[in-house]
């Protein structure tokens, strides 16, 4: 009983012990904040990674693909059983994309970008990935059709969920058919004006404004000398969905600037699946833009309908009409053991032709790096608490020396060595509990208010802490894992108790007479 | 209570300094015995041996016919807690606790948390009575640093009496007090001896203080000189 009373009194009267509490508190708070933010980032990243890839990816090693996805899918289903809930074949091929950009001299110039062209089956691709959720047109999110829409593309990022930091994308407001028609008329006018000297004097109806075109789309084409087989004002090429990173850039203030909009045409060059390879070029009309918020994907992937790509690349057998594919995305039932099913599928197909991997395998180095980073960070941060432990050791040793006479008094009154030890162990325990408790509260509060704090810091320093130009999230993602928090607090309390063992033993072993006469 | 052939020496480096060189004496129940001696004559050491705070190099300390100097630590802790009350020259109160809490310390040490909680009213009443007895009725809530020397010593006596000990061991109880205050303390001790038949062993260097006891034993250079 005296142990409790004395612990309590020492806790209230020794202000130096507050230093220990503060150091434990800071260590615990930092660990909680860092772990929550890292867990948030990891979770966000994994969701994105898994969102774009199926749970399992079945790929053939050849870029030119193999025939008959249906046959392969049937066999996969047979091997994996009812764990498979969805499959979708894709064809992917490295390609070059040319976007016409208006230069400072009002001349258009082609901007070339290396991309990965992915042919997807729009009817099944949504079953295996979250691809549809990342599109900018609400109707496309319900069902992707690879057709240009009349307008109504999201001006506000639907994934930001009304966040104030999300800057509106004003350019997308005019994307769609009206934009395409307007652009076609402008181009036609320019073409006409430039060629006027060589040809004939301009006639008034040729300069009809865009408004007239809407009533009579063919008006502009009247009197055209060459026979035309494609009219950009009314027709579209093969639909294409661009990653937001391939057709826009983000300004320092966080606004996105588009260099191509839905309605624009781009040209894509890719090799045919023949020997020797032959490069072919296709015009495509941008029908939507997707944003997975994984810059690796957003800046690299471009999607077209699989059938069209198969035909362009010569991957369709002219007699049977069966196309070749390069990979099959597989979606598994929630809770299914992906590694086990991967191994089963792997065993069922010749390994020299096919690669089967989970999305984790595909992103293995990245995930491992993040995990490593988190582990190292945790070790380093735990060192902070260990340092706090040494602080407790030093301060307790001091307190024991200071309290030598009191220890002698207690012993002369019949307190046992064990009891005296208990005072200091209990003292360490209570410091640990108070420190860990306050630290936990502080850490959780910090995590809860982290975006406000980041904003405030940004305003104070004039330098945004969490720059939306760098990250694709508008908020700092956090996940508080109760297990982690519990372990951190437990660890801190343990360190506090361990650090007080040495001084407590020293106190317990003091000789009562020597302690009483200690000056 | 008796001692026979007590030897005790302190080591300083390789040189052993003999302090007590064969002490034989007895204390009878209800007696007020004072041990007088010069500084360094070993009287405090003797008291520590009697109170089992220290162990003799040779010889025995007996209490009610049983040898107590060789008991295990736990038994000696119990003995100090229940059977001996100790009063020191420098009062030795715990500075973090109030006078009342200081008096309660032996009970706090003796009892488990639950046991103390169950008997807390009883203990508190007893502590208050004892503080009244030594004249500290309105000083109960004061911390030691807010008390005068005499008051602190009286609180220390109250603390020594809480467990209703058989023997009170007093080490220069007046050594740090002026004459008048010392006399008050002596009065308290004498009253306790007279009214409650408390056995008191007091150590002092002051002949005048020593003479107030029933019997005086003189300690010279670690040996008893008959008075």
Q: A14 and A86 in one domain?
A: no
Q: In this structure, are A22 and A88 located in the same domain?
A: no
Nearest in space to A279 (alpha carbons), one of A288, A268, A264: A268
A346 and A450 together in one domain: no
Distance from CA of B89 to the nearest CA of A (A): 10
Average pLDDT over chain A, rounded to whole? 81
Same domain, A329 and A418: no
B97/A9 touch (CB, cutoff 8 Å), yes or no: yes
Q: For the segment A456-492, what is each residue's pLDDT rounded down to a tens digit?
A: 888 888 877 766 656 666 678 888 889 999 999 999 9
- At residue B124, the 3 state secondary structure works out as helix
Instruction: Decide: B57 and B6 in contact? Cβ < 8 Å.
Output: no
d(CA A299, CA B39): 92
User: What is the rounded CA–CA span in Å between residue A148 and residue A241?
Assistant: 10
Those residues with Cβ within 8 angstroms of residue B191's Cβ, 6 or more apart along the chain or in another chain: none
**Neighboring chain A residues of B74 at a CB cutoff of 8 Å:** 416
Of A409, A512, A516, the CB nearest to B94: A409
Q: Tell me phi and psi for residue B59, to 5 degrees.
A: 95, 175
Q: Looking at the domain assignment, is residue A266 inside a domain?
A: yes
- Tell me: do A455 and A318 sit in the same domain: no
Nearest CA in chain A to B159: A413
Answer for the pair A345, A57: CB distance below 8 angstroms, yes or no. no
| CB < 8 Å to B95, chain A | 406
Strand partners, B3: B25, B61
Q: Distance, in angstroms, between B55 CA and closest chain A CA?
A: 10
**B113: nearest CB among A1, A410, A413:** A1
Is residue A214 a part of any domain in this protein? no
Mutation target to probe the A interface, by most A beta carbons within 10 A, among B46, B83, B92, B156 is: B92
Closest residue in A to B92 (Cα–Cα): A409
pTM of the predicted structure, to 2 decimals: 0.71
Domain match, A240 and A376 both:
no
Residue A272 structure tokens:
């045919």
State the CB neighbour count (10 A cutoff) for residue B152. Answer: 24
Q: Please, what sign has the CA dihedral across residues A152, A153, A157, A161? A: positive
Q: Which of residues 39-58 of B touch A (CB under 8 A)?
A: 48, 51, 53-54
Number of folded domains in chain A?
2
Residue A181 lies in a domain: no
Q: Same structural domain for residues A84 and A36?
A: no
Q: How many Å from the N-terminal Cα to the C-terminal Cα in chain A?
A: 28
Residue-by-residue pLDDT tens, chain B, 227 positions: 566 556 666 555 566 777 777 777 788 888 888 888 887 777 888 888 888 888 878 777 888 878 887 888 888 888 888 888 888 888 888 888 888 888 888 888 887 778 778 888 888 888 888 888 877 788 888 888 888 888 888 888 888 888 888 888 888 888 777 888 788 888 888 888 888 888 888 888 888 888 888 888 888 877 777 65
Whether A414 and B78 lie within 8 Å, measured CB to CB: yes
Shortest Cα distance, chain B CAs vs residue A425, angstroms:
16
Domain boundary pick from A302, A335, A362: A362
Q: A414 and B96: CB-CB below 8 Å?
A: no
At CA A258, angle to CA A255 and CA A263, rounded to 5?
140
A318 and A375 in a single domain? The answer is no
Ordered DSSP codes for B140-163: TT--GGGS-HHHHHHHHHHHHHTT
Q: Compute the nearest-CA separation of A502 from chain B (Å).
A: 21
Q: Is B97 on the interface with A (CB under 8 A)?
A: yes
Look up residue A3 and give its two tokens. Answer: 């142990």
**Structure tokens given for B189:** 């001790």
Structure token digits, residue A437: 């408790």
With an 8 Å Cβ cutoff, are B53 and A405 in contact?
A: no
- Does the CB of A1 have a partner CB in chain B at under 8 Å? yes
Q: Indicate if A261 and A354 belong to the same structural domain.
A: yes
pLDDT, tens only, A173-183: 788 888 888 88
Nearest 5 degrees, angle CA A236-CA A239-CA A243?
135
What is the extent of the structural domain holding A132? 54-153+236-362
End residue of a domain, out of A310, A337, A362 = A362
* Domain-ending residue, one of A329, A362, A395: A362
Q: Do A395 and A327 share a structural domain?
A: no
In whole angstroms, give the CA distance from residue A333 to residue B196: 87
A314 lies in a domain? yes
All residues at 6 or more sequence positions from A169 whose CB lies less than 8 Å from its CB, including other chains:
A154, A155, A156, A157, A255, A256, A258
Structural domain includes residue A174:
no
DSSP-derived secondary structure letter, B145: G
Which pairs from A168-171 meet CB under 8 Å and 24+ separation?
A168/A255, A169/A255, A169/A256, A169/A258, A171/A257, A171/A258, A171/A261
Alpha-carbon torsion angle A70, A76, A82, A83, nearest 10? -120
Residue A229, domain member (yes or no): no
Q: Is residue A193 part of a domain?
A: no
**pLDDT class of A165 with cuts at 50, 70, 90:** low
How far is Cα A370 from Cα A365, in angstroms, rounded to an integer? 9
A410 touching B (Cβ < 8 Å)? yes
Asked if the structure places residue A504 within a domain, the reply is: yes
Shared domain check, A502 and A380: yes
Whether residue A375 sits in one domain with residue A351: no
**Nearest partner of A72 among A360, A356, A359, A363, judged by Cα:** A356
Q: Which residues of B touch A10 (CB under 8 A)?
A: 96
């Amino acid at each position: 009983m005296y142990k409790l009373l004395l612990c309590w009194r020492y806790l209230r009267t020794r202000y130096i012990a507050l230093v220990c509490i503060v150091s434990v508190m800071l260590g615990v708070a930092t660990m909680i904040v860092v772990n929550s933010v890292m867990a948030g980032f990891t979770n966000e990243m994994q969701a994105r990674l898994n969102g774009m890839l199926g749970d399992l990816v079945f790929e053939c090693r050849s870029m030119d693909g193999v025939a008959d996805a249906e046959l392969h899918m049937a066999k996969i289903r047979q091997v994996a059983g009812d764990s498979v809930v969805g499959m979708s074949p894709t064809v992917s091929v490295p390609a070059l994309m040319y976007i016409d950009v208006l230069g400072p001299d009002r001349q258009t110039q082609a901007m070339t970008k290396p991309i990965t062209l992915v042919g997807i089956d729009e009817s099944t691709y949504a079953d295996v990935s979250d691809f549809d959720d990342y599109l900018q047109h609400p109707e496309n999110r319900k069902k992707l059709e690879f057709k240009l829409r009349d307008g109504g593309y999201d001006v506000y990022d639907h994934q930001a969920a009304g966040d104030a930091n999300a800057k509106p994308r004003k350019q997308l407001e005019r994307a769609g058919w009206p934009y395409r028609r307007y652009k076609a008329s402008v181009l036609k006018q320019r073409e006409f004006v430039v060629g006027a000297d060589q040809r004939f004097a301009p006639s008034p109806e040729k300069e009809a404004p865009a408004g007239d075109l809407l009533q009579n789309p063919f008006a502009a084409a009247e009197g055209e000398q060459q026979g035309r087989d494609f009219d950009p004002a009314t027709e579209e090429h093969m639909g294409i969905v661009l990653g937001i990173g391939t057709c826009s850039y983000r300004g320092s203030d966080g606004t996105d600037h588009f260099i191509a909009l839905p309605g624009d045409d781009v040209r894509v060059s890719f090799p045919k699946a023949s020997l020797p390879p032959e490069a072919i070029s296709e015009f495509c009309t941008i029908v939507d833009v997707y944003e997975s918020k994984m810059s690796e994907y957003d800046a690299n992937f471009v999607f077209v309908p699989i059938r069209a790509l198969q035909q362009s690349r010569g991957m369709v057998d002219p007699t049977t009409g069966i196309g070749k594919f390069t990979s099959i995305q597989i979606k598994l039932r929630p809770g299914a053991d992906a590694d086990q099913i991967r191994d089963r599928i792997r065993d069922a197909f010749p390994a020299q032709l096919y690669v089967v991997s989970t999305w984790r395998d595909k992103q293995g180095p990245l995930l491992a790096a993040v995990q490593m980073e988190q582990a190292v960070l945790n070790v380093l941060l735990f060192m902070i608490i260990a340092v706090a432990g040494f602080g407790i050791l030093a301060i307790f040793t001091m307190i024991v020396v200071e309290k030598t006479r009191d220890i002698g008094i207690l012993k002369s009154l019949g307190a046992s060595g064990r009891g005296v030890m208990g005072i200091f162990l209990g003292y360490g325990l209570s410091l640990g509990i108070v420190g860990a408790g306050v630290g936990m509260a502080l850490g959780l509060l910090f995590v809860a208010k982290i975006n406000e704090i980041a904003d405030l810091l940004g305003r104070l320093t004039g330098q945004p802490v969490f720059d939306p130009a760098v990250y694709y999230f508008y908020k700092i993602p956090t996940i508080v894992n109760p297990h982690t928090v519990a372990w951190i607090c437990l660890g801190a309390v343990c360190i506090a108790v361990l650090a007080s063992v040495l001084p407590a033993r020293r106190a317990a072993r003091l000789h009562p007479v020597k302690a009483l006469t200690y000056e | 209570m008796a001692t026979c052939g007590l030897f005790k020496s302190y080591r300083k480096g390789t040189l052993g300094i003999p302090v007590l060189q064969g002490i034989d004496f007895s204390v009878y129940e209800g007696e007020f015995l004072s041990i007088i001696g010069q500084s360094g004559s070993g009287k405090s050491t003797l008291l520590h041996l009697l109170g089992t705070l220290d162990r003799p190099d040779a010889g025995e300390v007996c209490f009610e016919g049983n040898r107590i100097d060789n008991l295990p630590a736990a038994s000696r802790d119990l003995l100090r807690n229940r059977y001996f009350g100790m009063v020191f020259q420098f009062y030795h109160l715990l500075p973090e606790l109030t006078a009342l809490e200081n008096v309660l310390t032996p009970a706090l040490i003796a009892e488990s948390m639950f046991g103390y909680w169950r008997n807390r009213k009883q203990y508190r009443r007893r502590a208050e009575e004892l503080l009244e007895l030594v004249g500290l009725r309105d000083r109960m809530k004061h911390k030691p640093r807010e008390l005068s020397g005499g008051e602190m010593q009286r609180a220390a006596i109250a603390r020594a009496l809480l467990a209703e000990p058989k023997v009170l061991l007093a080490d220069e109880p007046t050594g740090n007090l002026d004459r008048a205050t010392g006399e008050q303390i002596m009065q308290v001790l004498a009253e306790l001896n007279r009214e409650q038949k408390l056995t008191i062993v007091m150590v002092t260097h002051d002949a005048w203080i020593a003479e107030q006891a029933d019997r005086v034993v003189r300690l010279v250079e670690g040996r008893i000189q008959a008075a």
